[in-house]
Structure 1
Amino acid sequence: MNTDPATTDPATAESADTPNVLGMQIAHRVMLRDLDRTIGVTMAMADGGVDITRRRVRAVVRYLESMVDSIHHHHRAEDDILWPVIELRAGAHVDLTALTEDHEALVPKLDGLAETVRKFGASPSRRSAAVVAGRLVDVRNTLAEHIAEEERDTLPVIRRYLSVSDWQDVETRIRRGANMSFELPRIAAAVSADELSALKRDAGPVIGVMLFLLTPRYRRMEKAIWG
């Protein structure tokens, strides 16, 4: 069975009795996409290529604060919700120690990023923008390595040992603690039409309504940052 997300139709990526991990793959993709985009704009602000206006600064600070909270939530959810289920079902077939240690190593990096974002918001300048950009690069490099390891080692275990019901319960519990007003339009902006349709089918019709209500505000924030 082909499980390469780059070459597989998301609607048929998994068999009926295999967990569809598309949502997890998309969450990882969105985090890296956000880091790349915010690195770009903060570097441009530091270089003088993008104006440091009051409106842009407010939007960048709000976006980065939400992004940091989102990454923290993703990793806490894995530690507290997903890992125990994997350990229960897979037992000795999996060792999550290295991934948990990665999460622990990311905490001070994310906290350091949040602090530089606050300082940038209080005193915006090309210099403080450069500090934020540097922190973002550090987080991005660490997270990219972690995600590659996690997808290589964990996704096959989920597909093999967890039931569809197990996985649906994990995803439901994770969504309950997420900031959906940020997460939903952010995800919708980063996926293909087929992927979005698959996610809507999994999550139910309420997602479409929420996207209709939440997307305009999110797009205004994006416009304030990236134009």
Structure 2
Amino acid sequence: MNNEPTGLLLAHRAMLRDLDRLAELTRQLATTRLDRKRSAAVADYLSDFCDSIHHHHSAEDEVLWPVLERAAGAHVDLTELTDDHAVLDPKLARIRQGAAALRAGHTVSAELAADLADLRDTLHEHIADEERTIVPLIRTYVSDDEWNRVESVIRKRGAKMTFEVPRILAVCTDDELAETRREGGIPVALMIKLLPLPFKRRESLVFGGSR
């Protein structure tokens, strides 16, 4: 097999980038009162980010893990990674609550900053464990056709492309971008052309000058 889970690795890379910059942003803005427009922008970004993480880990639990268990059999034990996923939803719920409070009160709470720092630390460790454990199994035991089916099923689960695509593009190397264009055809080429500019405007409002 010559299988490379590029999409999974890019999703992780985009997630970690956002975790780092959102944790730093809320640390800097903790107890700061924002204007209505920016507070809504930060809150909306946090909500979309929580949805993105939930979509990713639930897709792993429900789509990827069963494929790995069938393909790798006794070579795979996903208990620890699944347990990690179980603790994510309560953490995401606290951040969603903090985002709602920010939208209503226009102030970044110290609790929201602490929750994002906690989520950042948790996911940095979890993703390192996952890539060390899962990626070699995918490369060794999952056929190209089966991996393509996994990615196809996950794409159909309704991720928000206006949020996901620009964040993935931001962490792509030139070679990865070329591969994405080649494999995705005209629909992906159109998303690459049309989605980044409005997203950059959104980022500018959320993160200000430092992104």
TM-score range, shorter chain: over 0.9
Does the aligned pair in 1 maintain the 2:39–2:106 contact within 8 Å? Answer: yes
> Among 62, 87, 107, which residue is 2:69 paired with?
87
One-letter code of the match for 1:192? Answer: T
Aligned-pair distance for 1:64? 0.7
One-letter code of the match for 1:46? Answer: A
- Aligned residue for 1:106? 88
How many residues align structurally?
207
Provide structure 2 residue ranges, at least 5 long, that are not aligned to the other structure.
none
Looking at structure 2, the residues matched to 98 and 152 of structure 1 have their Cα atoms a distance apart, in angstroms, of 13
- Aligned residue for 1:155? 135
Query: Aligned with 1:52: secondary structure?
Result: coil
> Among 187, 206, 209, which residue is 1:225 paired with?
206
Looking at structure 2, the residues matched to 188 and 56 of structure 1 have their Cα atoms a distance apart, in angstroms, of 24
> Among 26, 29, 36, which residue is 1:42 paired with?
26
Aligned-pair distance for 1:203? 2.6
Looking at structure 2, the residues matched to 147 and 182 of structure 1 have their Cα atoms a distance apart, in angstroms, of 20
Aligned-pair distance for 1:199? 2.0
Q: What's the Cα RMSD here?
A: 1.5
Q: Which moved more, 1:22-31 or 1:210-219?
A: 210-219
- Aligned residue for 1:52? 34
Looking at structure 2, the residues matched to 109 and 47 of structure 1 have their Cα atoms a distance apart, in angstroms, of 20
**2:200 counterpart of 1:216:** no
- Aligned residue for 2:149? 169
Looking at structure 1, the residues matched to 191 and 201 of structure 2 have their Cα atoms a distance apart, in angstroms, of 16
- Aligned residue for 1:3? none
TM-score by length of 2: 0.93
Aligned-pair distance for 1:47? 6.5
- Aligned residue for 2:114? 134
- Aligned residue for 1:122? 104
TM-score by length of 1: 0.86
Q: Which moved more, 1:145-154 or 1:171-180?
A: 171-180
After TM superposition, what 4+ stretches of structure 1 lie above 6 angstroms from structure 2? Answer: none
Looking at structure 2, the residues matched to 182 and 20 of structure 1 have their Cα atoms a distance apart, in angstroms, of 24
| Alpha-carbon displacement from aligned partner over 1:140-167 (angstroms, at most 9, x marks no partner) | 1111111111111111111000000011
> Among 190, 195, 200, which residue is 2:181 paired with?
200
- Aligned residue for 1:72? 54
Looking at structure 2, the residues matched to 102 and 203 of structure 1 have their Cα atoms a distance apart, in angstroms, of 32
Provide structure 1 residue ranges, at least 5 long, that are not aligned to the other structure.
1-16
> Among 169, 172, 196, which residue is 1:191 paired with?
172
Looking at structure 2, the residues matched to 40 and 125 of structure 1 have their Cα atoms a distance apart, in angstroms, of 16
CA 1:193 to 1:55, structure 2 compared with 1: closer, same or farther past 3 Å? farther
One-letter code of the match for 1:57? Answer: S
Looking at structure 1, the residues matched to 48 and 184 of structure 2 have their Cα atoms a distance apart, in angstroms, of 22
Query: How many percent of aligned residue pairs carry the same amino acid?
Result: 46
| Alpha-carbon displacement from aligned partner over 1:24-80 (angstroms, at most 9, x marks no partner) | 1111111110011111211221265xx722222111111111110000000000011
